Every structure is written in structure tokens, then in C-alpha cells.
Amino acid sequence: MRRPLQIAIACVLTSAPVAYADNLDFYGTANGSVATTDNANGLEAGKPGKRGDVFSDIRPGFLATYYAPRMIHELSSEVDFLYHIATARPTVTFRAGWKAFFIPSPRTEATLNADASKGQLNALSASASPLTDDVTSVLPPGRVDIESVTGSQNFSWVASEGSRVWQRSFGRFGTTLDEAAGLEDVTTTSWEAGVALGLDHTLRHDNFVFEIGGSYVHMEKLDPSSRQMGSRLDRQWNPRSVIVWQHDIDKKWSSNIDVGGVYVVPTGCSTNPNDPTGPCVPDPYNPTQTRNNGFFPVFGGVAAYTDVWGRAQVAARRQVTPNLFIAQNTQSDSLTITAAMPLTIFDKDSNKEQPKVVGIGNAGIESTRLIDPTTGNLTSTFHVARIDFGVGWSPRPGQTLGLRYELTYQNGTTAEADMVVPEFVRNTFYFTFSLRYPEDILVKVPRRNQSVRADRKDLAPIGAEPVIVDPTEFLEGGR
């Protein structure tokens, strides 16, 4: 039987020569794009004010890595200048992130992540890679000032040859400010904190995961002018559990099926308004409203292909998550297709060595419904669709040039929504670039989450086992 991957990684890190114990390296980065769109301000077709635009997105920054026995750290930062040709000055967003990986013992490992940003949230924004964590998501209308901080912690222990026990915690905080001429501002302040415990048990071609946990959510919106249906304060407990079955069909193909549920428990008032002894922390903006609990099933399925230099997957999923940008709990049904593969037609040896030409893209559609905290029912449906694909060419490590096309569609009902979301269609073409100096990164924090294979070999960036490289790293200036 194969030995646990954690032990292999521990041997690599603990056997590092003392001469490299205090290895600190700095890298300069520059990412960006020049693009054109037919709907810069996200307006419905036929409405006055809709216009095309040419814009550029420049993101200078730096990356620092620190490597010592049993630990790796990465610190990154960038400033995003998004400049529209018709505007007098660019919009500026600051971002910073920290990642760390630890091997406390041969059978344990831990990861820490923290990210912060301050600037503006705009649906018309560029990134070097079409692949993102959220292919589709409902965003507030217009250009909104935001501040956000997120963090997470993971710890795992190899209990036996085929079993692993793990624990994770997370937190996120965000504020938004939507200004309007002649009216009072709309602001949101939202945060979420949660924990989870899980158990993995691996057989020869299968892996079974059980997770139980929950989070507390605080979402407050101040809307003095009732531009978005008025002010409100929602506080909720969201306990959840899920069971996952991962199956490796062969060395390249695998599948995932997960089933679970989320129970939304508002703390706004007793579910029985006639029971004066029930717990009640009323919404100060809507003191007469009661709050009702609600159970929501969640489930999903994934079919994935992973090769040494490529990956692709189809995923269908229902999930319940709080959207901090719009300060609402949501239930979302999504279907996404993602792929990142070397284009052998341009590079015959790309499957044998580092590819120089990579095709990457996604297509996704999502239907999102708001969870009414008063009744616990689903209201207000929003539809978001996105097609995004591109080609990246890496003449040498740390340098990537690319072409990219994005189609975005969004619409939604507004009669019951706490936020008016405009309907629009947008086509955008990008020329992208990504640069880094020095070219080669000596060490990186390994990816330890979102495995699609039961044997977890798609998460092994170091060690003796086969390495499955993420092609998106090339489009982002990676190795």
C-alpha cells in the first residue's frame, strides 16, 4: 500500500540542508490587460447611457517567499489600477495576501491563509486567468467601494494508513459603499465566522469524506432612502453537514458526489410570535418582523480529468452561502465547465515538458435565490451566465502573453429583492500579460484544498509522487 502523502512531504522538508533554513526571496510582479467592451456601465440594451469603452488594468506588485525546515511562507501584494479611456482618473484597489504551510510532525500538517483588499468592486474587471473560484456570482450594481478581509486555517492528522482527521476554521468581513447623486448612500457591513470537523477514509480507488460544522453570519444594510428596499439587520446560525464520495475511474478520470444540508437559524425573533418566552433579538430597522428557521439541502457532482500538464472538469452544484457583497443569504444552483490544457497543435512537445501555449477557459450558468429571513422561504431569482476563454503563451518562465474573450449575462426579479440587480449583456475582449522577476520561484506553498481525486495526487506539488501541474499558474506568471 502507498504511504500517506503527508509523510513524503515531511521527509522532503525536514531533509532540507541547514544552508537553506533561512531562505528569503523577493520577486517583482506585473500583471494586467488592455481590453475593449460593448457595455462598460452594465446597462440593459436600448436604455440611454449604454456605451462601449476601452480600458486598461495594470497590477504591479511583489511576492516574497520564506522557506525553512517544516514551513513555507508566501506574502504577496499588488495595486490594481483600472483606467477607462473616458474617465479622468483610474479606480484603485489594494490587495495583499499571506499563505503558510507547516509540518508539525510526520503525520500532521497545517495551512494558514489571509487576504485583504480595499478599493472598488466592479463587474467590469480583468484578471490574467479566465478561471476563478466563482465563475458566476451576483454582484451589486454599478461601481461600489469595498473593504474585505478573509482568513482560514486547516489542520490534518493522518490517523492510519487510509484515514485522516482534519479541522478547519474560517472568517471573512466585508463592507460596501454605494454612492448616488442626490440620495443617501447605501452601505453594508457583513461578517461570517465558522468551524468544521471532518474525517477522510481512503480505499484503493475511493475516498469517503464526512464533514460537520457551521457558521455565524451578521449582515447589516443601511438604506436610508430605500433605494434597495430599506435597511435591515440579519443574524443567523448556519449549521451544516455533508458526505462526499470521491472515485478514481483511472489514472486520469475521477468523479465526486456530495450530499448534505444547511439549517438556517435566524436569531431575529422567536419562530412563534405568540410565545413571549422565545429568544428574541429584534431587527432594529424592522422590529415587528419575526424570523423563521429553514432547512435547505445541498448537493453536487463533479466529473474531472487530470493529466500531468492539464485539467478539466464539469460540475453541477446546489449550495447555500451568505453573499456578503449584497448582505443576503442565498441558495444557488450552478453548472460549470472548466478546462486548462496545453495546445499541442502549437507545441508538439507540450505533454512532455513545460508547455508554452495553454488554452484555458470556463462556461457557467447560475440561478441564485435569496433566502427571506422573515419567512425562511426562497424569493427573488437572479440568473448569471458567463463564458470566458483564452490562450496564453509563455516564451519563458515568469512571462506570459494572452488573448481572452468574455461574455457576461445577468438578470433578475426585483419585486421582492433587497437589491435591484440590472439586466445586461456584455462582450469583452482582452490582451493580457503577466511578468515576474526573477523568473523562477524556488519554493511555493503547496495546494492542499479542493482535491478532485481520491488519491489526492492532483494536490502534490512536491515529493516523490507524480506531480499534476495547474496550467493556470502559467497564465498568472507561475512556474
- Per mean pLDDT, which range of 275-289, 305-319, 435-449, 451-465 is the poorest? 275-289
Higher pLDDT among residues 6 and 289, named by residue: 289
Give the largest CA-CA distance in the chain.
74
Average pLDDT over the chain, rounded to whole? 80
CB 347 within 8 A of CB 358: no
Tens digit of each residue's pLDDT (9 = 90 or more) over 69-126: 889 999 999 999 988 887 778 889 999 999 999 999 999 999 999 999 998 876 555 4
CB 364 within 8 A of CB 337: yes
CA geometry: angle 367, 369, 370, nearest 5 deg: 150
Backbone torsions φ then ψ of 17, nearest 5 degrees: -60, 150
According to the model, what pLDDT value does residue 34 have?
Answer: 92
CA atoms of 210 and 301, how far apart (whole Å) = 16
CA atoms of 357 and 350, how far apart (whole Å) = 8
According to the model, what pLDDT value does residue 181 have?
Answer: 60
**pLDDT band at residue 414 using 50, 70 and 90 as cut-offs:** low
Which H or E element spans position 332?
strand 328-342
According to the model, what pLDDT value does residue 79 have?
Answer: 94
**pLDDT band at residue 280 using 50, 70 and 90 as cut-offs:** low
Higher pLDDT among residues 139 and 368, named by residue: 368
Q: Is the pLDDT of residue 276 over 50?
A: no
Ramachandran category for residue 326: left, alpha or beta (phi over 0 → left; psi -120 to 50 → alpha):
alpha
Listed by start position, the domains of the chain span: 5-475
CB 153 within 8 A of CB 170: yes
CA atoms of 307 and 466, how far apart (whole Å) = 10
In this structure, which amino acid lies at residue 304? Answer: A
CA atoms of 428 and 403, how far apart (whole Å) = 11
Which H or E element spans position 102?
strand 91-105
Tens digit of each residue's pLDDT (9 = 90 or more) over 206-236: 999 999 999 999 989 888 877 777 788 888 8
CA atoms of 177 and 184, how far apart (whole Å) = 11
Fold annotation for 5-475: Maltoporin; Chain A (2.40.170)
According to the model, what pLDDT value does residue 422 have?
Answer: 64
Q: Is the pLDDT of residue 417 over 50?
A: no
Rounded to an integer, the average pLDDT of 338-367 is 80
Q: Is the pLDDT of residue 56 over 70?
A: yes
